[in-house]
Amino acid sequence: DEFCDPGDAEHQTMRVYLRVRPFSKEELSDNEDQECIVVENSQTVTLNAPKGSATMKSSERGIGTSIHKFTFSQIFGPEMSQAELYENTVKSQTSDFLDGKNTLIFSYGVTNAGKTYTIQGTQKEPGILSRVLDGTFHYIQGHQYQDMDMKPFLRNDAQRLDSKQVKQERSAKAALFAAVKEVIACFLETLFLFISVLVDSSAESESSQFALWVAYYEIYNECVYDLLQPSLCIRNKKRVSLRVCDDGAGNAYVKGLQWINIQSLSEASKLLHLGNRNRSAAATKMNQSSSRSHSIFTMKLLKIDNDVVESVSEFSLCDLAGSERCNKTKTINERLKEAGNINNSLLILGKCLTALRNNQAERTKSSYIPFRESKLTKLFQTIFCGKGRASMIVNINQCASTYDETLHVMKFSAVAKQVIPERPLESPCLVGGDGKPLRNGASHNQTLNLSDEELLEEEDEADESLLPQNELLSMIENLRTKLLAERKRNLVQEMEIRKEMGDAMLQQLMESEELRTRQIEELKERYQDKLENTFEMYKDAIKEHAYQSAMNNLEDDYVPLDEFLAEQEKVEVSSIIEL
């Protein structure tokens, strides 16, 4: 986690806009219109707690108040069109994006408040995403970089691709667009036909060219998924979760995210359709198609001048999943788990904004900011810490039944309105197809491999007033000596650790062998006892059998005593007669 210190940067507070959704016919028939939301002017809105709400009950008990006032950068009522919203909110940030600056726009609010409509719109009323794309293509028309050998790399850098990698990019793009039927794509392209030219200026330098790359992904149950994957359209296909990594300079990026180079609005419409089809959504009591994830559509614009990447700017539009109370949306099982993750990530976002605001108010010390507790805040940490411009479009409905949730959203936005300094961006680093740095403007596959001496010479040429050459050489020699000593110490430590681990492993093996020997001896004794018991059992059985056999034979040969005596007497008489 990071400690952001905006004290040395020029402050520019985060612009927060409010958009009020009109009532639907069903809401009017359900008596949802109780004048809970009153727009006072273009910047002030008043919330009046309706009867039965938790806020009104607390107010009646003397806890808090039933009336709240909030101010915004600008408020757009139910009658405001998509075009007016864009002109007064996003158009200036589109210009910043085209000028090489990073931009982030959040669409925030409770479920069923119109966030997705604000971002994407409909066929007749395109949202701000379609208008940003239209303005970007009008700006770079005639100056598009046709080759596909310059691609975004990590978070703020660019990569030069070799011919094999370019071929792979083209094949991946073709396979991706094949997943969208041409009829559907042509239908979606009509979304952009209602949009006028939104950015009047055009690319000012004839030598400058622009390459536009886009990615579309979602954060669902705190896992990041790429929405631009044709395989997702196959049923029962398990999605692969992507990792959020650090580029070594404190900038988070999504590892393995697919970036697509687009050349027209038609290609943009195909990507939008494919991504929206893959996005996680489900029906709840408050919304028949409730977004169950935070979706992020990111554009990266590479400005290329004479084979040199002058700048890499990023424009991200984040459609946040709606915050909700599970008892009102009737979420159970999987929906309940989703709601918990949604509410938790929004809670961490609020904590980060609060900590940023407190750090600005107390410049003498910086408090802990929990960016890394959520994938959402970790990804946009650099924007929050000043490397770009962020704004938020808060969407609310006027329904009395969701007043308490709406009040929470308004309090959240009040904190957001007081944060975000702005700092200049660093120049992008150009890397080759192998990921190693290239000299800006260098030929393909020419890697930047400098020795210590070459690096010293370049620094010395840049500023000869730093140190004399002999002192620099002495410093290098000292550093080398320390490096060798450190390596030797590490080798000795590694040998000791290996020996310790080997001894521990040997001891463990000996103990295991001893344990197995004891177990075998115990097993032998048990089997010996069992064998002796079995032998005694068989011996008793044989004795019993012998006794029974003898008794049976005795019964067969038994003669009564009277018969025996009578027979003996007969024999004796016969013997006497014979004599």
CATH 3.40.850.10 for domain 6-431, yes or no, is: yes
CA 145 to chain centre: 31
What string of H, E and C letters represents the secondary structure of 540-564? HHHHHHHHHHHHHHHHHHCCCHHHH
441 is in an annotated binding site: no
**How far apart, in whole angstroms, are the C-alpha atoms of residue 439 and residue 445?**
10
Instruction: Decide: helix, strand or coil at residue 578.
Output: helix
> What is the pLDDT at residue 19?
92
What SS3 class is residue 449?
A: coil
Cα gap 431→444, rounded to integer Å: 10
Domains of the chain: which residue ranges? 6-431
Which strands sit side by side in the sheet containing 67-71, from one edge to the other? 37-39, 44-48, 67-71
Q: How far apart are CA 473 and CA 58, in angstroms?
A: 74
The three state secondary structure string of 454-500 is HHHHHHHHHCCCCCCHHHHHHHHHHHHHHHHHHHHHHHHHHHHHHHH
pLDDT at 369: 82
Query: What is the three-state SS of 291-304?
Result: ECCEEEEEEEEEEE
Closest among 281, 274, 143, 290 to 214, alpha carbons compared:
274
Instruction: Read off the tokens for 571.
Output: 């024999």
Element (H, E) at 39: strand 37-39
Q: Is 113 annotated as a binding residue?
A: yes
CA–chain centroid gap for 64, Å, is: 37
pLDDT, residue 298, reads 93
State pTM to two decimals.
0.67
- Answer for the pair 102, 387: CB distance below 8 angstroms, yes or no: yes
CA 76/CA 13 separation, integer angstroms: 20
Kindly write down the DSSP assignment for every residue of 85-145, as one continuous string: HHHHHTHHHHHHHHTT--EEEEEEEBTTSSHHHHHHB-SSSB-HHHHHHHHHHHHHTT-B-
Give the whole-angstrom CA distance, residue 14 versus residue 383: 11
The reply to whether 364 sits in an annotated binding site is no
Nearest to 398 by CA among 46, 105, 126: 46
pLDDT at 115: 87
Q: Measure the CA–CA gap between 556 and 554, rounded to whole angstroms.
A: 5
List the structure tokens of 179: 């997943």
115 is in an annotated binding site: yes
H helices of 156-261, in order, are 163-177, 182-189
Q: Are 357 and 413 contacting, i.e. CB atoms less than 8 angstroms apart?
A: no
Nearest to 275 by CA among 181, 339, 180, 393: 180
Residues of the chain with pLDDT under 70: 1-13, 181-206, 230-237, 281-291, 323-341, 343, 360-366, 419-469, 555-559, 579
**Tens digit of pLDDT for each residue in 293-352?**
889 999 999 988 887 888 889 999 998 887 655 445 444 455 566 666 676 778 888 888
pLDDT at 459: 36
Angle of CA points 263, 265, 267, to nearest 5°: 65
* pLDDT at residue 60, as a whole number: 84
Residue pLDDT, tens place only, 460-469: 333 333 456 6
Interior CA angle at 109 toward 103 and 115, to 5°? 65
Is 112 known to sit in a ligand binding site? yes
User: DSSP 3-state assignment of 393?
Assistant: strand
Place of tokens 């296909």: 237
Q: Is the CB of residue 262 less than 8 Å from the CB of residue 110?
A: no
pLDDT of residue 198: 45
Q: Which residues contact 74 (CB under 8 A, 6 or more apart)?
A: 17, 18, 42, 43, 88, 89
Q: Give the model's pLDDT for residue 451.
A: 40
As a whole number of angstroms, the distance between CA 542 and CA 67 comes to 101
Instruction: Say which amino acid occupies 372.
Output: R
Asked if residues 249 and 437 have their Cβ atoms less than 8 Å apart, the reply is no
Q: Beta strand pairing status for 208-220 and 260-261?
A: antiparallel
The single residue listed with the structure tokens 């390459």 is: 211
Q: Is 524 annotated as a binding residue?
A: no
| Helices (H), ranges, 279-380 | 326-329, 333-361, 375-379
8 Å CB contact between 431 and 157: yes
Q: Please tell me the distance from the alpha carbon of residue 536 to that of residue 239, in angstroms, as a whole number.
A: 66
- Assign residue 368 a region: left if phi > 0, alpha if psi is -120 to 50, beta otherwise? beta
Residue 431 CB partners (closer than 8 Å, separation 6+):
153, 157, 158, 159, 160, 437, 438
Residue type, 14: M
